[in-house]
Amino acid sequence: MYTLGPVEVELNVSAYRLWAAVKDMESLLPRVMPVLRASVEIEGDGGAGSIRYIKFPAETSVTYDSRERLMEPERPEQDRAECCQVLAQRCHALRDSKFWDVSTKIFSIERIDVMDDDTYTEVHTLIGGEIDRQYSFYRSTKTFTPVDIGLTVATWFVEYEPLDDSSAPEYPKQMFLAFIKAIEAYLVSHDDYA
């Protein structure tokens, strides 16, 4: 068993608002990253035991190279929204011998193992979808820790077992960073989830 992380990022949003937004991923993802044209469907109440499907349109072919870093600002002044646009463009443009094609629509199928409102922690295990093709086991943990009023540290780490000699799951890490920064940018500019 391998681990990647923890990856920590400081966000200028309260943990309460951030947690409320993350729990509403079905409606949140299309709003914060519309260029990806992704959708989220949940079977169950969204708590432990629920199944989450992350999908892309059938005509969308998202590919990526697991060695590529997807979210690095090209200029220091590049803002978060622009980083998300760059991420989406790279997701749609990357071509390499090692790629994931989501023309089947389902990028990932995740079983939610923990959704703890007291500790602002979500744990999910990958149980299917395109991303699952490289791992015999993959579990992701996200925790949002209040640091100060309107300030939160988001922590992400993953435990995984590759099916072959694949590298660490760098792409999911970059997607987490892009998504969490997109949520922060959205919450700073909107009154949702107050």
Kindly report, residue by residue over 55-93, the tens digit of the pLDDT. Answer: 866 554 444 333 333 333 344 344 545 544 554 444 444
Average pLDDT value for the chain: 77
Q: Are 7 and 23 in contact (CB under 8 A)?
A: no
Distance in angstroms (rounded) separating the CA atoms of residues 137 and 126:
7
Contacts of 160 (CB under 8 A, 6+ apart): 1, 2, 3, 4, 135, 137, 138, 139, 168, 169
Domains, in order of start, for the chain: 2-58+79-189 (3.30.530.20)
- Identify the residue with better confidence: 53 or 72: 53
